[in-house]
Amino acid sequence: MAVASVTNGCNRLFLVAYDILESENIEFWTWVYPSVEHRTCVRHMHKNSKKKFHGESLQRSVWAAARSYKVRGYNTAIEDIKSINIRAYNLIEDLGKKLEIWNISQFNIVCKCDYITNNISESFNAWVAEARERPVLDILDTIRQKIVVTMDKRRRMPTKWKDDIVPSVKKYVRNLSRGLATYEVRHCSDSKAEVSYKGQRCEVLLTYGIWSCRKWQVSRIPCVHAMAFIFNIRGAKWEEYIDLYFLVEKLGLPTTCRLLLFLTLTNGLEMVNWMVYFLYCQGDQLED
C-alpha cells in the first residue's frame, strides 16, 4: 500500500491519496509527482550511521549539517565530519550524487516545510496499526472510516480557538518574543534592517519576506531576526507577517496544506517506512 499525505498549518497529517500497488517500481515512484525533490530522513540516516560510525562529535556534526538553513553552516559541519571520519564523509557525498537531499540548506523553498525527518509517516503507521493484519479491502475501509472521523474532528477543532492564528505558531512567537530584547536592530529603511545577535548579523527585508538566515523562506514562519525587527517597528503587528497557511480560517482547506508530501508504504503485513519524501512542487494555490 502507498499512502501520500501532507501537513496542514498545525502540523497535522492530511491524507491526499492511498492505494494498493502490485509492486514497487519506477512507475510507482513517479505516480504521485514526476519531477520532485527527494528528501532523506535524517533520523533514519542517523540510526543507520550509528551502527557503522561511533562518536558523539560525529553525530552532532551530522545533525548540525542537517539543521543548517544556510549553505555556509552546512559546509562548516561537513568539513567537521570530514576531519572526524572520512568514511562517513564519503557516504554523505554518495547521497549527494544520488540527488537525495537531507539538509535544510538545500531544501526547495516552494514546499514551505523544513521537516528533516519522516515522523509524520510514523504517525500514520501508528494510526492504522490496528488494521494492518486485516484483509486488503478491510484495511482500505478502515482507513476510509478513520479519515471521515478525523476530517470531522479537524473541521470542528478551530471553532474552539479564539485567535486567528493556529496555536502552534502563537506558541512559537510567544517563546521567541521572550528573548528578543537581546537582539540589536539597526533600521536601514521602513522595511529593511540589520539584526545582530552575539556578533552574528542577519539582513531582514520585510517587503519581500526575505530573511538572510533563510528560515522564513523555507518554513514560512518568520525567524527570530524578522520578529526582532517587527517588534521594533512602532505599531507593527506580527500577525500581519504570518503566512496564510497558519490562519485558522484557512485551516480546513486542502489548498492551504503545506506542500510536503510524505509517502508511506506497507509491504504485506509489515510496514516499511520509506526514507524518501516526495515534495509537491506545484506552486502556490493560495491566490484563489
Which positions touch Zn ion (CB under 5 A)?
Answer: 202, 211, 213, 223, 225
Name the DSSP class of 252. Answer: T
One DSSP character per residue, 87-148 reads HHHHHHHHHHHTTEE-SGGG--TTS-----S-HHHHHHHHHTGGGTTS-HHHHHHHHHHHHH
Residue 102 backbone dihedrals phi, psi, to 5 degrees: -135, 0
Measured from the CB of residue 161, what is the shortest distance to Zn ion in angstroms? 27
* CB of 57 or CB of 175, closer to Zn ion: 175
Measured from the CB of residue 60, what is the shortest distance to Zn ion in angstroms? 22
Write the burial class of residue 177 (CB in 10 Å: 0-12 exposed, 13-18 middle, 19+ buried).
Answer: middle
Q: Are 31 and 51 in contact (CB under 8 A)?
A: no
* CB of 218 or CB of 223, closer to Zn ion: 223
* CB of 32 or CB of 64, closer to Zn ion: 64
Measured from the CB of residue 203, what is the shortest distance to Zn ion in angstroms? 9
Measured from the CB of residue 236, what is the shortest distance to Zn ion in angstroms? 17
> Which residues make beta-bridge pairs with 18?
3
Measured from the CB of residue 206, what is the shortest distance to Zn ion in angstroms? 12
* CB of 66 or CB of 227, closer to Zn ion: 227
* CB of 122 or CB of 203, closer to Zn ion: 203
